Amino acid sequence: MHLLFVLVTSPCLTVLYILCCVSCSWCSALLRPDCLICLVHFQIIQYQTVRYDILPLSPISRNRLNAVKRKILVLDLDETLIHSHHDGVLRPTVRPGTPPDFILKVVIDKHPVRFFVHKRPHVDFFLEVVSQWYELVVFTASMEIYGSAVADKLDNNRNILKRRYYRQHCTLDLGSYIKDLSVVHDDLSSIVILDNSPGAYRSHPDNAIPIKSWFSDPSDTALLNLLPMLDALRFTADVRSVLSRNLHQHRLW
């Protein structure tokens, strides 16, 4: 019965369950939902599975990668990599008492403002991995004084988020900010944008990967889920040949 429950929850968790069953020797050969040790095992193993192992490239893969251009991955900040709120603003999306990952103090219009920034789960690992595959570029519709401070924190002296574009680089259209990717690079075959707002990339939908807006869910794995796709996309001659087949997903977010 337990196995059936896992099967309907997630195919991935099926493996976890079996692993847990065979490893839980302190209490029983089978996982018991009323057993604390079993639950601890379950949680630990579940955590381990969200890692993404980077395997060495085969000679064929290496040759293919050398034959295509190195791609650029454009990253949005707010609700894609982080979520923040500032002094005096109540956000019901952030659970009261949830500590921020870091606090930024910036001066806007001569007023000091504190931003409480929450990092999307696995963002550090995500950046560490994709920085090995892509040239990373930050493109946010936020003000530079805030966006640069967030990017500095995410970069964490790794020097992987060097190129940055801010609100002043966006195009304002009908009250919303559009990110023109040709500002970043003139060859659209080699540029990908990851953004929670489809309106931001409406000029280049064939270059976009949609991602669900993130506010506070600690179990979110959206960034990890994208790693296999981003791993594969770097081998394409033109990212649009793949991403243009994905357009129906943009309406989901």
Output the six-digit token pair for 133: 């595959």
Compute CA distances 126 → 26, 46, 221, 230, 239, whole Å.
35, 18, 10, 11, 20
d(CA 202, CA 49): 35
Residues 195-214 that bind Mg ion (CB under 5 A): 196-197
Interface mask toward Mg ion for 49-88; x: CB under 5 A: ---------------------------x-xxx--------
- Let me know if 76 is a catalytic residue: yes
Length of the chain: 253
User: How near is the Cβ of 200 to Mg ion at its closest, in Å?
Assistant: 7
d(CA 87, CA 50): 34
Q: Which stretch binds Mg ion (CB under 5 A): 173-181, 188-196, 223-231, 244-252?
A: 188-196
User: How near is the Cβ of 176 to Mg ion at its closest, in Å?
Assistant: 11
* 31 vs 141, beta carbon nearer Mg ion: 141
Q: Which stretch binds Mg ion (CB under 5 A): 54-62, 63-71, 189-197, 201-209?
A: 189-197
Q: Read off the amino acid at residue 8.
A: V
Interface mask toward Mg ion for 142-181; x: CB under 5 A: ----------------------------------------
> Does residue number 139 form part of the binding site for Mg ion (CB under 5 A)?
no
- Let me know if 78 is a catalytic residue: yes
208: which strand partners? 193
Can you give the three-state secondary structure of 99-143, one letter per residue?
Answer: CCCEEEEEEECCEEEEEEEEECCCHHHHHHHHCCCCEEEEECCCC
User: How near is the Cβ of 162 to Mg ion at its closest, in Å?
Assistant: 20
* 13 vs 223, beta carbon nearer Mg ion: 223
Torsion of CA 169, 175, 176, 182, to 10 degrees: -40
Binding site for Mg ion (CB under 5 A): 76, 78-80, 196-197
Q: Which residues are part of the catalytic machinery?
A: 76, 78
